[in-house]
A and B are shown apart, each in its own frame.
Chain A
Amino acid sequence: MIRSDVLKTLIPIISDELVVCNIGLPSQEMHLLDDQPTNFYMLGTMGLASSIGLGLAMAQSKKVIAIDGDGSVLMNLGSLPTIANNQVPNFILLIIDNGSYGSTGDQPTYAGMKTSLTEVAKACGCDNVVECAAEDTADAMRAALAADQTTIIVSKCESGNIKVPVIEMDPVTIRDRFMGAVAS
Chain B
Amino acid sequence: MSVNDVIMDALVANNVGYVTTVPCKQLAGVIEKIEASSDMIHVPANREDEGMGLCAGAFMGGKRPAIIMQNTAIGVTINALATLIQFYRMPLPMLISYRGEVGEPVACQVEMAVHTKALLAQLNIPTYHFHKPEDADELSDILSYAYMGRKPVAILMDATFWKGQ
Contacts and interface: CB of A to CB of B under 8 A. Distances in A.
Nearest to A58: B41
Contact of B84 (A45, A60, A82): A45
Contact of A45 (B43, B45, B79): B79
Pick the 5 closest A-B CB pairs, nearest first.
Answer: A55-B57, A44-B83, A59-B61, A51-B53, A78-B46
Interface string A47-69: 11111111111111000100000
A132 to B, nearest CB: 25
19 contacts: A20-B57, A44-B83, A45-B49, A45-B80, A47-B53, A49-B53, A51-B51, A52-B84, A54-B54, A54-B57, A56-B60, A59-B57, A60-B62, A78-B45, A78-B46, A82-B44, A82-B54, A172-B88, A179-B60
Interface of B: 17-18, 41, 43-47, 49-63, 65, 79-80, 82-84, 87-90
Nearest to B84: A45
Contact of A78 (B17, B18, B41, B50): B50
Nearest to A55: B57
Nearest to A175: B88
A42 B52 CA distance: 14
A183 interface: yes
Given A45-B49, A171-B87, 19 more contacts: A43-B83, A48-B52, A52-B57, A53-B57, A55-B18, A55-B55, A57-B61, A58-B18, A58-B57, A59-B60, A59-B61, A59-B62, A76-B50, A78-B45, A78-B50, A82-B54, A171-B88, A171-B89, A174-B88
B50 A59 contact: no
B89 A172 contact: yes
A182 B60 contact: yes
Interface of A: 20, 40, 42-45, 47-60, 64, 76, 78-79, 81-82, 86, 171-172, 174-175, 178-179, 182-183
Contacts of B89: 171-172, 175
Contact of B87 (A40, A44, A86, A179): A44
A52 B20 CA distance: 12
A102 B146 CA distance: 37
Of B46, B51, B79, chain A has the most CB atoms within 10 Å of the CB of: B46
Contacts of A50: 53
Nearest to B55: A55
A119 to B, nearest CB: 19
A48 to B, nearest CB: 3
Contacts of B47: 76, 78
Contacts of A56: 57-58, 60-61
Contacts of B61: 55-60, 182
A60 B41 CA distance: 12
A179 B59 CA distance: 9
A92 B40 CA distance: 23
Contacts of A59: 17-18, 41, 57-63
A40 B18 CA distance: 20
A55 B45 CA distance: 11
Given A59-B17, A175-B89, A175-B90, A48 B58 contact: no
Nearest to A46: B79
